[in-house]
Structure 1
Amino acid sequence: MATIKDIAKLSKVSAATVSRVLNGDESITVQDQTRQRIYQASKELGYKTIQERRNQQQMVISKKYPATGIILCLSYEEELSDPYFLSIRQGIEEELIKQGISTTTMIRLHDKVDYQKVRELDGMIIVGRINEEAIKKVSCHSKNIVYINHSPDDDIYDSVVVDFQKATERALQHLLKAGYKRIGYIGGVEREHLKEKTIIGEDLRFTTYEKVMKSVGFYQPSYVFIGEYTMTQGYELMKKAVKQKNVPEAFFIASDPMAIGALRALQELKVSVPSDIAIVSFDDIEMAEFCSTPLTTVKVHTKEMGQTGVKLLLDRINGRELPLKVTVPTELVIRQSCGTNK
């Protein structure tokens, strides 16, 4: 059986460093490249820590189902304010219970990540965007990974996604066919998360809006308002939009919570929806149907995304090697806020 010294020799570091890294000692300062080299050497030599051997024995005795983990890119507070991601997680948890897996490890990238705990998992479901650095830290521990709402590499990882481009085009075409030309955009910033930092990524809702509006000759930079994906920001951005001289006659709003905030702002300003300003939104959360003016919105089947992610993960754990990418379809739900029922 391989020893600490064997790993130290192969990874070209001291035995003490190997021991501390493999046993999850957070106080040791080691470059990521060195840490990955140690993990790779231990994997090649088939080495298992005392804790891993204990856990393996315990699994043989008492565990019938694979150890699964859910890695969440949002903080607890962010998730509560965004029903989109909360619904995805609920779909994951419901399907895990349906499959007989009642115990899972929940990890938030905003918190301190115990990579020793990650190494003990049979598979992981990652919800949201994480950047390349975080992917390397996670993926070196398991090939059984499913991404939901993000697809970093179709050739390696399973993923469950929405076609944001197609969905946004459908929403905008609906407004254009209704005769609207001055169409504004209210949205947030897409972020790739890591504990130490956050990187702004491409938001396909905005880039598609920009592309479509330019293609028909109606794009105006002054019609674009971008903040954070929160109800409060939707409220504040709509107030800002209405105060300018040339106010759009319709808006595509990139999330329902932002649209609900925008509706409140318009109500306070005594601007009628859809008579004065029409709105099409995105998500179709439960509240969208019960707003003061029910929202026309792109319905995303978030729970089904979570459920599909679990099925892909279990299939992968059971031996499938070919990576699969599942695109969950969306639909435009027509209600009062867009000013047309067709």
Structure 2
Amino acid sequence: MPTIREVAQKAGVSYTTVSHVINNTRRVSTPVRERVLAAMQELGYRPNALARSLRSGETKTIGLILPDSANPFFAEVGRAIENAAFRSQYSVILCNTEGDQAKERVYTEVLQNKQVDGLIFVAAGDQPDALQEIATRGLPVVVIDRDCSQLELDTVITDNLSGGRQAGSHLAQIPNLRAACITGPSNLTPSAQRLVGFQQALHEAGIELREEWVLRGDFHPHSGYQAALHWLKAAQRPNAIFCCNDMMAIGVLRAAAELGVMVPQELEVIGFDDIELASYTHPPLTTVAQPKAQIGETAVRLLLERIADGWLPARREILPTTLIIRKTTHEEKP
């Protein structure tokens, strides 16, 4: 393994000049810099990342904690985060908690021990205590997809209330609407806000959302499938189902297909997220789109700003949703 002194000798410069080129700690003229870089390439020299991080106090790494990396929504947001971080010359370490708060605490400690420069975090739940523990660790943190307005933490969330209203307003155009909703876990505010927005839109249209036509799911396809089987086998069944994520909506589509219920002629279905798979279901899924790329890019921007200046006031970015009408619902009225 070549040393920095061998690079200096090859380039005909001092040891400190090579150090300045590697660490970008002082201006070096372009011809000299190019000579040093050429010598490094010819000798196959690679800077020691650990040594550089010890000198600079930065590791150029970001921790990313997700509750379910198999969920396409989080996978797509994670990809956006990785791409945005890479453009800023940061690497990302991904940890998957599977919604387990004990695992979440362990991973947070592991990432801090690895001296990541900051953390982008999707909590297993919305409990203030768990988020407060993260906030007190002294690590720059950005929380995404969780509403923690009671804490002084940078946050990136989607306007879930508005998204639920968009779904409700669209379905409210159905004559003799009998609407149902499959929510997500009770400990997550995004799901609760989507339900509230949905109820508000129906109420404004003079439509009741019956209590028995609201069932709790877990954001996985099977829970949507089971809820739909329960309703569609009943004597009186809903003619529209709003699912608080696309994965549950995919489960609903399977149940409808098995029972011979035609979508959208007999049953209209709306999801939430607009994962990539949503446009490939049969029929293609109408859904409320979250701006996944913007979520990831905004989270990285806020985190890098926080790393650069820890005294910034907490920021709260609320991003808009968009209703994407495909073939599982009616065409929008002009």
TM-score by length of 2: 0.74
State which of 171, 194, 201 in structure 2 corresponds to 1:205: 194
Q: What residue number does 1:136 align with?
A: 132
Q: Deviations over 1:53-74 (max 9, x none)?
A: xx997624377654422222x1
Matches within 5 A, 1:232-247: 232-247=222-237
Following superposition, the deviation at residue 138 of structure 1 comes to 1.9
Give 2:321's aligned amino acid. T
CA distance in 2 between counterparts of 1:270 and 1:116 reads 50
Q: Distance in 1 between matches of 2:118 and 2:58?
A: 15
- 1:43-192 matches, within 5 Å, as 59-61=53-55, 66-72=60-66, 74=67, 78-80=68-70, 82-102=71-91, 104=93, 106=95, 108=97, 109=101, 111=103, 112-113=106-107, 115=109, 117-118=111-112, 120-128=115-123, 129-142=125-138, 144-153=140-149, 156-191=152-187
Pair 1:127–1:186, CA change in 2 (3 A): same
1:25-81 CA deviation, whole Å, 9 max, x = no partner? Answer: xxxxxxxxxxxxxxxxxxxxxxxxxxxxxx997624377654422222x1xxx431x
Q: How many residues align?
A: 276
Contact 1:185 1:253 in 2 (8 A): yes
8 Å contact 1:178–1:340 — kept in the other structure? no
Structure 1 residues 279-288 or 136-145, which shifts more? Answer: 136-145
Runs of 5+ in structure 1 lacking a partner? 1-54, 193-199
**Contact 1:154 1:324 (C-alpha < 8 Å) held by counterparts:** no
Match of 2:319 in 1: 328
- The answer to whether the 8 A contact 1:160-1:328 is kept is yes
1:220 aligns with 2:210: yes
The DSSP-based 3-state class of the residue aligned with 1:260 is helix
Cα deviation for residue 103 of structure 1 reads 5.0
AA of the residue aligned to 2:251 = G
Secondary structure at the counterpart of residue 328 of structure 2? helix
**Larger relative contact order (Cα-Cα within 8 Å, sequence gap ≥ 6):** 1
Alpha-carbon RMSD across the aligned residues, in angstroms, is 2.7
Distance 2:94 2:218 in 1: 29
Instruction: Provide Cα deviations, 1:159-195, integer angstroms capped at 9, x if missing partner.
Output: 1100111111011101112435211112221436xxx
Structure 1 pair 324–190 and aligned structure 2 pair: CA distance change class (3 A): same
Q: Which runs of 5+ in 2 are unaligned?
A: 1-48
Structure 2 Cα separation of the partners of residues 333 and 107 of structure 1: 29
What percent identity do the matched residue pairs reach? 26
Which residue does 1:37 correspond to in 2? none
Decide which structure has the larger Cα Rg and report it: 2
The one-letter amino acid of 2:112's match is V
Residues 56, 154 of structure 1: alpha-carbon distance in 2 compared, 3 angstrom cutoff: farther
